[in-house]
Amino acid sequence: MAETMRQTVATILKSIERYNPANLQTLERYVEMQSRENTYDLEANLAVLKLYQFNPENFNPDITCQILLKALTNFPHTDFTLCKCLLLESVVENETISQIKYLADILEQCDFAQFWNRVHQMPELCNRISSFHDSIRKFVCHVVGITFQTIDKSNLANLLGGIDDVSLKHWVKKYGWKDEGNLIFIATQDENIKTKNITEKIEFEHLAPLMAIL
């Protein structure tokens, strides 16, 4: 069922049909399916926003919110920015949409404490996206992984949205980190953070067009 849906949408997106407002319903249902089943299709979602852009009378704030929240779950990719560029100037004023935009801002600034704080204040919105919290946690783990050598256990639990010990163990295990009592050992960052030597490499391929001109 989900697969047929995906196929149908893929066919729509391949042709000029992507601009046909008659397909909006199918595409919107596809967005809801993504929210429900924890799948993700950026291109289809952008096509929905594009249809809203061309047909403002069909604008659906609820679907738009789901698309934006789904874009959050794909951090650190810039999906959210891409979606934002397609929003009509007028809908940016929408209250819920500005809240989600704020979420994106603080998430990007890695102000995770503040982010979870906000998320907990709007459960009905975020809970509609299945596995929303875990997707964000993946991003948190990504940031922690490139930032910390060791991290305080309670700090990590907080960054992950105040999770309990069992869940914390799960995440630590998943990323291959080591539990060292009060501290979690992440990785030896020494090896990654080195002065980079940027040397200029000139390959024949780069010179060839130049020689052709000269």
- Interface residue with another protein among 24, 39, 74, 82 (CB under 8 A) is 82
- Interface residue with another protein among 2, 7, 10, 19 (CB under 8 A) is 19
Per CB under 8 A, 149 contacts another protein: no
The minimum distance between CB 203 and another protein, in angstroms, equals 13
CA count, 13 A, side-chain hemisphere, 35? 20
For residues 100, 103, 104 and 106, what is the CA-based torsion angle, rounded to 10 degrees? 160
The minimum distance between CB 89 and another protein, in angstroms, equals 4
How many CB atoms neighbour CB 36 within 10 A?
13
Site pattern 44..73 for another protein (x: CB under 8 A) = --x---x--xxxx-----------------
CA count, 13 A, side-chain hemisphere, 47? 26
Per CB under 8 A, 109 contacts another protein: yes
Per CB under 8 A, 108 contacts another protein: yes
Nearer to another protein, 16 or 166 (CB): 16
The minimum distance between CB 166 and another protein, in angstroms, equals 33
The minimum distance between CB 46 and another protein, in angstroms, equals 5
Nearer to another protein, 9 or 172 (CB): 9
Nearer to another protein, 69 or 163 (CB): 69
Q: Which helix (H) or strand (E) holds 179?
A: strand 178-180
Nearer to another protein, 3 or 201 (CB): 201
Map the footprint of another protein across residues 181-200, applying CB under 8 A.
198, 200
How many CB atoms neighbour CB 128 within 10 A?
15
Q: What sections of the chain are H helices per DSSP? A: 2-14, 24-37, 42-54, 61-72, 79-86, 95-108, 112-121, 123-126, 132-147, 153-159, 165-174, 204-213
**CA of 207: how far to CAs of 199, 202, 203, 210, 214, in Å?**
17, 7, 7, 5, 11
Residues with Cβ within 8 Å of residue 122, at least 6 apart in sequence:
99
Phi, psi for residue 184 in degrees, rounded to 5: -110, 130
Per CB under 8 A, 81 contacts another protein: yes
Where on the chain is the footprint of another protein (CB under 8 A)?
A: 15-16, 19, 42-43, 46, 50, 53-56, 78, 81-82, 84-89, 92, 105, 108-109, 198, 200, 209-210, 212-213
